[in-house]
Structure 1
Amino acid sequence: MLTFKKMTLLDADEIFQWRKKEHVTKYMYTNLDEDKNKHLKWVRDNIDSKENQYYVIYSNDVKIGLISLNEIDYRNNRASSGFYIGDQNYSLIASRILPYFLNYAFFEFNLNKIVIEVMSNNLGMKKMDLHYGFREVGILQDHIYKDEKYYDVEILELTKKKWNTMVKFHSLIASFE
């Protein structure tokens, strides 16, 4: 069973450890700053943020990853989003997380659109996003310089109107605390 709980200071150490893992950081725009105090400041800044909401993902009461709504625009009812699985023992669950989150984002949080950015080397994530109804809207060429190399970033979006047609996923409801 999946549940999602708002990030707290008690999650900071685990999130810090996840961010250090190669399977997580290789798809993020920046490498982790090893300064734990900067990480704690980031957690504190985002706990009560109105623009960003971070949720720790639990599978049967085990913390497995982090998912977020970012750059929340309450006037236009849109946000960006991202997630990762920190515990590789649960990597097979990754493909099942998104519909639970999208149901929350569109039907409870009442967003009209989610826009995501996916690094061009993250083929699995892009395939999953397309499966759940996201559509490609553009490519930012040579957008991220990381590890001595430039990466393209693909922009995808999903509207509530499109999600409403994805009826087979609407029964996937989880607790968001």
Structure 2
Amino acid sequence: MQEVTLREIVKCTFEQKTAVRDIRNQESVRRSMYTDHMIGLEEHLAWIERLEKDTRQIVFVVFLDGIVSGLVSVNALDRLHKKSDWAFYLDSKARGGLGAVLEFSLINYAFDEIGLEKLNCEVIETNPAVVKMHLKFGFVEEGFRRSNIEKDGKRIGVHFLGLTKDDWVIKRDEISENYKSIFEKFQVHIDSTLVSV
């Protein structure tokens, strides 16, 4: 069984933080993000420093068997309305269902531990595989903004997806059963000191 640990990036070592930057700069990751420039070390460390004071974001480093393998974030955390955005990206070498395991685990964490009632995400139109994955986990497409961002000198659209806690409670067991053979390969631990909403 593979061990997956999510640890807040602000609690990671310098080497682990810089390993995250290497993943952020991979072509496959930059292709799916709003901003796709190469991120310098100073910029990366300044971003982490801002996270230490930002109560509206929780950013986790994904460790697979102790190796930095990606990042999962809860963004725009709105405690009043009990909602948040979320996103993740993985090392281009990460395979074997890790994405599905992270999605399921993060959704459970958002609703059961943080106490959210709504989880939202945005996916650029050039990444249809991720839209399809979110739909399999109960998200519903709530809108599409045409020509919403600029990448590589072109205007492209963005899919807006959402999942309510009520819908998740209804669908969770079925989704768990559908992915049982994958989930059985992983043990997930989320290392967080977050106080719920």
Q: Structure 2 length normalisation: TM-score?
A: 0.83
Amino acid at match of 1:174: V
| Partner-residue secondary structure (3-state), 1:91 | coil
| Partner-residue secondary structure (3-state), 1:105 | helix
Counterpart mapping for 1:7-156 below 5 A: 7-8=9-10, 10=14, 11-86=16-91, 88-92=92-96, 93-156=98-161
> Aligned match of 2:167 in 155, 162, 168?
162
Q: Where does structure 1 differ by over 6 angstroms across 4 or more consecutive aligned residues?
A: 170-173
> Aligned match of 2:6 in 4, 7, 10?
4
CA RMSD of aligned residues (A): 1.8
- The whole-number CA distance in structure 2 between the counterparts of 1:24 and 1:33 is 11
Amino acid at match of 1:105: A
Contact 1:142 1:150 in 2 (8 A): yes
Q: State the number of aligned residues.
A: 176
The offset of 1:22, in angstroms, is 0.5
- The whole-number CA distance in structure 2 between the counterparts of 1:165 and 1:101 is 17
Contact 2:25 2:38 in 1 (8 A): no
> 1:16-42, CA deviations, whole angstroms, 9 ceiling, x for partnerless residues?
111111100000001135432121100
Contact 1:47 1:54 in 2 (8 A): no
Amino acid at match of 2:28: H
Distance 1:33 1:89, change over 3 A: closer
Contact 1:85 1:91 in 2 (8 A): no
Distance 1:12 1:61, change over 3 A: closer
| Equivalent position of 1:174 in the other structure | 188
| Partner-residue secondary structure (3-state), 1:39 | helix
> 1:57-104, CA deviations, whole angstroms, 9 ceiling, x for partnerless residues?
122222210001000000011000100002x22133222210011111
Amino acid at match of 1:62: I
- Unaligned stretches of 5+ residues in structure 1: none
% identical equivalent positions: 26
| Partner-residue secondary structure (3-state), 2:93 | helix
